[in-house]
Amino acid sequence: MTKENVKFAISLSSLRIIHFLINHRIMAVNYKDLGLVNTREMFKRAINGGYAIPAFNFNNMEQLQAIIKASSDLKSPVILQVSKGARNYANATLLRYMSQGAVEYAKELGCKHPEIVVHLDHGDSFETCKSCVDMGFSSVMIDGSSLPYEENIALTKKVVDYAHQFDVTVEGELGVLAGVEDDVVAAESHYTKPEEVIDFVSRTGVDSLAISIGTSHGAYKFTPEQCTRDPKTGRLVPPPLAFDVLDAIMVQLPGFPIVLHGSSSVPQEYVDMINKYGGKLPDAVGIPEEQLRKAAKSAVCKINIDSDSRLAFTAAVRKVLAEKPGEFDPRKYCGPARDLMTELYEHKIKEVLGSDNKLAQLD
């Protein structure tokens, strides 16, 4: 065995040991020690106050900086959302330390009592959820929505039973969103059945419920055939969300926290910018913001936004690279991307979700 091989074997076994220690909770971290909070109190306040908490996905430093800057400056509680893809892209350990750093950064920005949740988005197995709980996440989603009903209940309950031991809150999902969801391609959405929600919530013990009422993931939420066209602008106008289904769910579960996934509005200005500077996003369409405003006033207390941030980032990067083809310092195009995302997050918080100035302690 060469010296290099020995070194490699040692580092591999120390990684295995660390994973063993985390898995057996010998080295596990609790979110409270990282300065994070779970969703319980903030959801209660959001429902009573008629606003929604932003759940922004992040995969990199610039997105995280922009989210923390916008939420701290506007004194908004915020949910930092990490998908399985984000964990694979950015490394789970790095993400954990970045999230911990986010609390310190918010304080540096002058927000004395930040309320930051680190949440697993679309957890697909008990093991992924457990790993996040053990690594200091304060909230996890277990997405069993593509499973048969009873299997969804069994898996969700297993995650709840584990997470609640550490006061980590859990989001479950009933109903299937249209479009590409995780690895599942649903040709059409299956709205949440209001007659199932009481049974699901009481048997699983979830803290919040993601529902399907016509939203979907990505920048193409509706086909042109599903939309009408605005005669003045020629732009696509999507069909309204199924607020009747939301109302029926709220009758079954009064005051229970409801979550909307797939809630990017796909701002036309970003799509136009991307297309102008060499991109190709024909007929991209999202959820109109007035529908999100309406939802935020109801029991919908968490609204998930990822694609809009991706669009803002891409639009800003394309603009810089198109206008300055000689630029090769990533700070010169990631910086403007960060600024545009900060603007986007501020707009969502203040003008759409209404979560500004809603920290429990505003001093």
Ligand X SMILES: O=C(CO)COP(=O)(O)O
Ligand Y SMILES: O=C[C@H](O)COP(=O)(O)O
Residue list, annotated binding site for Zn(2+): 122, 143, 173, 217, 261
Contact 183, 145 (CB under 8 A): no
86 binds, among ligand X, Zn ion, ligand Y, none (CB under 5 to 8 A by kind): ligand Y
Strand pairing category for 169-174 and 208-211? parallel
143 binds, among ligand X, ligand Y, Zn ion, none (CB under 5 to 8 A by kind): Zn ion
Cα–Cα–Cα angle for 207, 138, 178, rounded to 5 degrees: 55
DSSP H helical ranges for the chain = 3-23, 40-49, 61-73, 84-90, 92-108, 126-134, 149-164, 197-204, 243-252, 268-276, 289-296, 307-323, 330-347
Q: What is the x/- site pattern for ligand Y, positions 304-343, by CB under 6 A? A: --x-------------------------------------
143 binds ligand Y, rule: CB under 6 A: no
Contact with ligand X (CB under 6 A) among 218, 238, 336, 354: 218
Contact with ligand Y (CB under 6 A) among 39, 72, 83, 342: 83
122 binds ligand Y, rule: CB under 6 A: yes
Stretch that binds ligand Y, among 78-86, 133-141, 154-162, 336-344 (CB under 6 A): 78-86
Count the Cβ atoms, other than its own, within 10 Å of residue 10: 10
305 binds ligand X, rule: CB under 6 A: yes
355 binds, among Zn ion, ligand Y, ligand X, none (CB under 5 to 8 A by kind): none
Catalytic residue among 73, 121, 124, 207: 121
Give CA–CA dist 172/44, Å, rounded.
17
Of 263, 357, 252, 297, nearest to 52 by C-alpha is 297
Strand pairing category for 169-174 and 78-83? unpaired
Helix, strand, coil abundance in the chain, percent, nearest 5: 50, 15, 35
Enumerate residues 111-140 that contact ligand X by CB under 6 A.
Answer: 121-122
Contact 267, 308 (CB under 8 A): yes
User: Is 199 noted as a catalytic residue in this protein?
Assistant: no
Contact with ligand X (CB under 6 A) among 36, 306, 334, 338: 306
Contact with ligand X (CB under 6 A) among 22, 34, 51, 57: 57
85 binds, among Zn ion, ligand X, ligand Y, none (CB under 5 to 8 A by kind): ligand Y
173 binds ligand X, rule: CB under 6 A: no
